[in-house]
Structure 1
Amino acid sequence: MTVVAFDFDGTLSDSEMTVLLGDRCGVADDMAEITERSMNDEIDYAESLRKRAALLEGLPEADVEAAFDEVELREGAADLIEELNEAGVTTAILTGGFERGVAAALEREGVSVDHIVSNRLPMTDDATELTGAVEGPLIEGTKDDALEDLADDVGVDMDDTVAVGDGANDLPMLRVAGLSIGFEPKPAVEPHCELVVTSMTEAREVLLEEGVLPEP
């Protein structure tokens, strides 16, 4: 058995959830700038995520739902996930992004993964708008711990894990995985990737070559 763990924003999806949310309240440019600095390892990820969440304070629930409805999987991502599932590979999404956006994108494509570890944007007590806070295991927690916990839960050695990501917050899981794949990785990330791909088709080819997926 093998575990394949994907990042979401920038990897399985070419959407950036905080930017989509920021579009709804006129702060998308600020969001994009903070995100880029974080992904290039210029500022601490937890700090960047809190800064971005704070910019969303007061965003109405209807706008939140509309933004998450815009989150889409990258071309070929759903097919690759489905093929991994059918091959008996444990699939996971480890993302600093938000559970609702991930769930919406997967549901739209009619595909699922075995495990999702993600963050949340809490609503006010009356559930009408965002508080500007962020909650979840991948704010201060890191993706190496998440991947190690997942491997332990399913009884897989770390040597039999695969991590796929693009940004600085993916570095911890890329460093500990048995195979690290960079998906159009940022310059600060690429040196830490054993292999680099630019499409889900290329990712599939790598997984075939590495024996993660069986030859058709």
Structure 2
Amino acid sequence: MTVVAFDFDGTLSDSEMTVLLGDRCGVADDMAEITEASMNDEIDYAESLRKRAALLEGLPAEDAQAAFDEVVLRQGAADLIEELNEAGVTTAILTGGFERGVAAALEREGVSVDHIVANRLPMNEAETESEAKASDNASGDQPRALTGDVTGSLIEGTKDTALENLAGDVGADLEDCVAIGDGANDLPMLQVAGLAIGFEPKPAVEPHCDVVVTSMAEAREELVADGVLEEH
């Protein structure tokens, strides 16, 4: 049994979810600066994610969904996932990004993976009319919006643990697992996988990669060379 675990933002997708969300509330530049520092291992990932989520407090639900709907897979990603699925390889996405953005991108391409481990951005509950009147607010229902919090196993938790748990669940050896990622938060899974593929990796990440690729076509070539996929 082989497992291929992908990072999402910067790997399967060239979108950056927090920046797309930040565009909706005018904090995209701040988001990008925090993200870049985190991916280069200049600040702690959990701290960076919480800072970015806090900047999104109050973003209405419809604006958040519109941002998630902009998330797209990079060229060739859907085809590679589909080929891995057809070959009987267990496919996974391990991302510090957000479930709803991953789901939107996969659904748009009509492709799925076996496992998704991702974070979530909670929303407040809409205030009912009776609750609004009780608080002297006669405006009726209040719109749902992001709380500024973030939840999920990949905030403090790391991707090596996620990969180890997944491998155990499907009966795979870590030596038979492939990890594909680009940023500092991908380092743990890249370091424990049998094959570590850096997808345009950040400078702090590249030394820990077995190979470096710049496209999904190149990633496929490495999977063929490793015996995960067959040559056409």
Task: State the match for 1:40 in structure 2.
Answer: 40
For residue 187 of structure 1, give the secondary structure of its aligned residue in structure 2: coil
Hey, what's the Cα distance between the residues in 1 that align with 2:107 and 2:10?
Answer: 19
1:133 corresponds to 2:149? yes
Q: TM-score, normalised by structure 1?
A: 0.99
For residue 197 of structure 2, give the secondary structure of its aligned residue in structure 1: strand
Corresponding letter in the other structure for 1:60: P
Hey, what's the Cα distance between the residues in 1 that align with 2:173 and 2:216?
Answer: 25
Hey, what's the Cα distance between the residues in 1 that align with 2:73 and 2:179?
Answer: 18
- Deviation of the 1:214 alpha carbon: 1.7
1:163 corresponds to 2:182? no
Hey, what's the Cα distance between the residues in 2 that align with 1:125 and 1:110?
Answer: 31
More moved, 124-133 vs 97-106: 124-133
Q: Output the aligned Cα RMSD.
A: 0.6
Give the alignment of 1:69-108 within 5 angstroms: 69-108=69-108
Identity %: 83
Give the alignment of 1:179-194 within 5 angstroms: 179-194=195-210
For residue 92 of structure 1, give the secondary structure of its aligned residue in structure 2: strand
Corresponding letter in the other structure for 2:99: E
Where structure 2 has 5 or more consecutive residues not aligned to the other structure, the ranges are 127-142
- Deviation of the 1:215 alpha carbon: 2.4
For residue 84 of structure 2, give the secondary structure of its aligned residue in structure 1: helix
Task: State the match for 2:213 in structure 1.
Answer: 197
Hey, what's the Cα distance between the residues in 2 that align with 1:132 and 1:173?
Answer: 28
Give the alignment of 1:108-119 within 5 angstroms: 108-119=108-119
Corresponding letter in the other structure for 2:83: E
Hey, what's the Cα distance between the residues in 2 that align with 1:65 and 1:145?
Answer: 30
Task: State the match for 1:26 in structure 2.
Answer: 26
Hey, what's the Cα distance between the residues in 2 that align with 1:141 and 1:125?
Answer: 27
Hey, what's the Cα distance between the residues in 1 that align with 2:120 and 2:226?
Answer: 34
1:53 corresponds to 2:53? yes
Hey, what's the Cα distance between the residues in 1 that align with 2:10 and 2:231?
Answer: 27
Corresponding letter in the other structure for 2:169: D
Task: Output one character per residue of 1:147-196: Cα deviation in whole Å (capped at 9) or x when no partner.
Answer: 00000000000100000000000000000001000000000000000000
For residue 203 of structure 1, give the secondary structure of its aligned residue in structure 2: helix
Hey, what's the Cα distance between the residues in 2 that align with 1:171 and 1:209?
Answer: 22
- Deviation of the 1:32 alpha carbon: 0.1
Hey, what's the Cα distance between the residues in 1 that align with 2:60 and 2:172?
Answer: 42
Q: TM-score, normalised by structure 2?
A: 0.92
Larger Rg, first or second structure (1 or 2): 2
Hey, what's the Cα distance between the residues in 2 that align with 1:89 and 1:202?
Answer: 18
Hey, what's the Cα distance between the residues in 2 that align with 1:94 and 1:199?
Answer: 19
Task: State the match for 1:121 in structure 2.
Answer: 121
1:144 corresponds to 2:160? yes
For residue 97 of structure 2, give the secondary structure of its aligned residue in structure 1: strand
For residue 180 of structure 2, give the secondary structure of its aligned residue in structure 1: strand
Hey, what's the Cα distance between the residues in 2 that align with 1:120 and 1:71?
Answer: 15
Where structure 1 has 5 or more consecutive residues not aligned to the other structure, the ranges are none
Count of aligned residue pairs for this structure pair: 216
Hey, what's the Cα distance between the residues in 2 that align with 1:156 and 1:172?
Answer: 18
- Deviation of the 1:125 alpha carbon: 1.9
